[in-house]
A and B are shown apart, each in its own frame.
Chain A
């Protein structure tokens, strides 16, 4: 069965711009989580959506937002980009959320210039 698909895989933006990243989960998975991965901070949890509702949120500023659609596809948006937002953004889907196995996409690598 198809895995988790993230688009775009690579993108370059400049400071002050905004970006939208997309994640299509595995069919039947209602939970979608987003993580930011950087060499210095490692993997940091952004938020989790389950059946279109945000049920967990990490410690990121309000510039980071997300949503989930009725087909479980999810998007995350970062507004007013800063240099420090350069990172690999990983999406993970699951049936149960964080107590079960997470299936990760290959990530969207964002570079902010």
Chain B
């Protein structure tokens, strides 16, 4: 079964600084990879997804992620943090669970704090 590791349960950055949220997965087969964001008292919202078309994936709100097969990583970055980026971020991997069915496994999440 897939496992997803997000390094750092809490990341704090200053407004305008680089945001780097780390995600590593366990798989010998290139999977489907996702980043979701959860704002307080809300459900999750898709930021971006990797489906093998391109290793650098651009998402909403200025976020992007790079798929590195050799490192089994899919780190999320944003060049300049904004106060509105404060939220919890989840990395997720989709794996085949039988036949043509897939199951999504989430990492434990990283809470991003943006300081003024």
Chain A interface residues toward B at CB < 8 A: 4, 33, 35, 42-43, 45, 48, 55-56, 58, 90, 92, 97-99, 101-102, 104-107
Q: How far does the alpha carbon of A4 sit from the alpha carbon of B36 in the complex, in Å?
A: 16
Q: A99-B102, A104-B44, A106-B42 are in contact. Are A56 and B109 (CB under 8 A)?
A: no
Pick the 6 closest A-B CB pairs, nearest first: A104-B43, A98-B102, A43-B106, A98-B104, A42-B108, A104-B44
Q: A35-B106, A43-B90, A48-B103 are in contact. List 17 more A-B contacts (CB 8 A).
A: A33-B104, A43-B106, A45-B104, A48-B101, A56-B97, A56-B103, A58-B103, A92-B44, A98-B32, A99-B51, A99-B102, A102-B44, A102-B104, A104-B43, A104-B45, A105-B43, A106-B41
Chain B interface residues toward A at CB < 8 A: 32, 36, 41-46, 49, 51, 90, 94, 97, 101-109
Chain B residues within 8 Å of A48, by CB = 101, 103
User: Are the C-beta atoms of B101 and A56 separated by less than 8 Å?
Assistant: yes
Chain A residues within 8 Å of B108, by CB = 42
What residue in chain A is nearest B1 (Cβ atoms)?
Answer: A59
Q: How far does the alpha carbon of A14 sit from the alpha carbon of B53 in the complex, in Å?
A: 49
Q: How far does the alpha carbon of A56 sit from the alpha carbon of B94 in the complex, in Å?
A: 12
Chain A residues within 8 Å of B36, by CB = 102, 104
User: Are the C-beta atoms of B107 and A42 separated by less than 8 Å?
Assistant: yes
Q: List 17 A-B contacts (CB under 8 A).
A: A4-B43, A42-B107, A43-B109, A45-B104, A56-B97, A56-B101, A56-B103, A58-B103, A90-B44, A92-B43, A92-B44, A98-B104, A99-B32, A102-B44, A104-B36, A104-B45, A106-B42
